[in-house]
């Protein structure tokens, strides 16, 4: 699917995630050895939310980030939004499904009025959108002045001595897990491909700044293959 762009790529991604929705959370835990839970919590902390915050979780999948925000901030208004209907259906049926407000929406065309959220967060969204600039512009538009954005996503491995081990994990272990657990090796071949073709952590930080965010920063996790980015709307 590397040749796909625009609406065609969006449809491919939507259908692919629809196929794996019921096994999505389990595969995330297996692929990251459970570390994705800690990364989500770290990304949430970067939002520095007030007690009664309004928060949007974009590309929310089945709601892991949204549920964690709802647990930490019982008085918050949390919107869990995803482009794939099957992800939303699975999320609604989970234990914390009624603790957040669900929405099927495109992260590049958010159905929100300007300046309504204290925080906007995404987990493993940005590498899947056809237009990163547009997605970031939409997030900035949806934030209140002074509101904060955070993004958790994969990032291309750096050139170092353990890169071959990371590539083995990406190209051998992950597709094998996808085939054995989700019955869909194609979807979990897309993951390493999209990771290696995505922006470096440094370049994504530049995109945040170009979209109008200030105080932009990032950290790498999992031997440099995961990045957590953040910024603030002026």
* CATH number of 144's domain: 3.40.50.150
CA distance linking residue 93 with residue 121, whole number of Å: 22
The whole domain housing 143 covers: 6-157+199-232
Half-sphere exposure of residue 138, counting CA atoms within 13 Å on the CB side? Answer: 20
Nearest to 140 by CA among 76, 59, 209, 205: 209
**175 found inside a domain:** no
- Write out pLDDT tens, residues 69-98: 999 999 999 999 999 999 999 999 999 999
- Write out pLDDT tens, residues 126-167: 999 999 999 999 999 999 999 999 999 999 887 777 777 777
Beta strands, E only, the chain: 54-58, 77-82, 101-104, 117-123, 143-154, 214-221, 226-232
In the chain, how many domains are there?
1
pTM: 0.90
Nearest to 32 by CA among 141, 147, 195: 195
**166 found inside a domain:** no
**168 found inside a domain:** no
Nearest to 77 by CA among 106, 36, 25, 112: 112
**126 found inside a domain:** yes
Instruction: Answer whether residue 2 shows pLDDT above 50.
Output: no
């Amino acid at each position: 699917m590397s040749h796909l762009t625009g609406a065609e790529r969006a449809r491919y991604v939507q259908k692919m995630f629809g196929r794996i929705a019921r096994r999505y959370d389990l595969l995330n835990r297996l692929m990251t050895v459970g570390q994705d839970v800690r990364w989500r919590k770290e990304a949430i902390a970067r939002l520095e939310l007030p007690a009664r915050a309004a928060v949007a979780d974009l590309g929310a999948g089945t709601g892991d980030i949204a549920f964690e925000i709802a647990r930490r901030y019982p008085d918050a208004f949390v919107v869990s939004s995803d482009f794939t209907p099957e992800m939303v259906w699975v999320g609604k049926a989970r234990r914390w499904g009624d603790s957040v407000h669900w929405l099927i929406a495109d992260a590049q065309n958010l159905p929100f009025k300007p300046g309504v959220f204290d925080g906007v967060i995404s987990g493993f969204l940005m590498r899947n959108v056809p237009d990163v600039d547009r997605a970031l512009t939409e997030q900035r538009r949806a934030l209140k002045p002074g509101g904060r954005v955070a993004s958790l996503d994969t990032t291309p491995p750096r050139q170092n001595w353990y890169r071959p081990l990371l590539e083995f994990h990406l190209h051998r272990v992950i597709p094998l897990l996808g085939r054995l657990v989700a019955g869909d090796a194609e979807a979990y071949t897309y993951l390493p491909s999209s990771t290696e073709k995505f922006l470096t952590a440094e370049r994504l930080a530049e995109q945040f700044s170009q979209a109008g965010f200030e105080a932009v920063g990032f950290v790498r996790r999992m031997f440099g293959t995961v990045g957590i980015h953040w910024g603030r709307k002026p």
